[in-house]
Amino acid sequence: MIFETREEWESKSPISPLLAEKGVRLYPFIRVSLNCIIFHFDFIRKNEECWERYMFSSVSDVLKVLGQNDFDKISISLLSRRCDNEDNEYGVSTIKEIIKAKDKKHKTVYMFRCKNDKTYLESHASADIEELTDKKVIYIKQDDSYIGLEYELNARKTI
């Protein structure tokens, strides 16, 4: 999935140049090209005070950024698809755990346990939660911090 912008969508506000760093372009909106889960990655870098937010369309990209281990505080939220919820509405919830598992074809699939007590699968997953095997917690949120990634956890917690 990609986030789409167009030149004509660029902000023409007179304050835009004051807000953007050199080479950064500001847009009041973007087009999301596919109906998939979107991750909001909020963080405070070590030795800094302000929260920053980035949006990702892939959990593997989120995990790569987490692997930098350059954060004092983090929070990862999941923006679900309408079809993921009984009321056919979007939902945003903080992720409490990311679980890495295998589907019937032995492909890696990620599960997300959220603060709203819902569990979501990656958008492309072709299995039900009950069919997944080799489940390992690779991310656990505690307050504004987190407990490691899989290689740091050394797969010590298995579901």
30-56 tens-digit pLDDT: 777 667 899 999 999 889 999 999 999
- Domain range list for the chain: 32-153
Q: pTM value?
A: 0.78
Cα–Cα distances (Å) from 138 to 44, 59, 66, 110, 124, in that order, read 21, 12, 11, 10, 19
- The 3-state DSSP composition of the chain as helix, strand, coil percent (nearest 5) reads 15, 40, 45
pLDDT in tens, 83-99: 888 898 888 999 999 99
CA–CA distance, 52 with 91 (Å, rounded to integer): 21
DSSP letters, 54-107, are: EEES-HHHHHHHHTT--EEEEEEEEE--GGGSTTS---EEEEEEEEEEE-TTS-
Q: Which two tokens stand for residue 97?
A: 């755990």
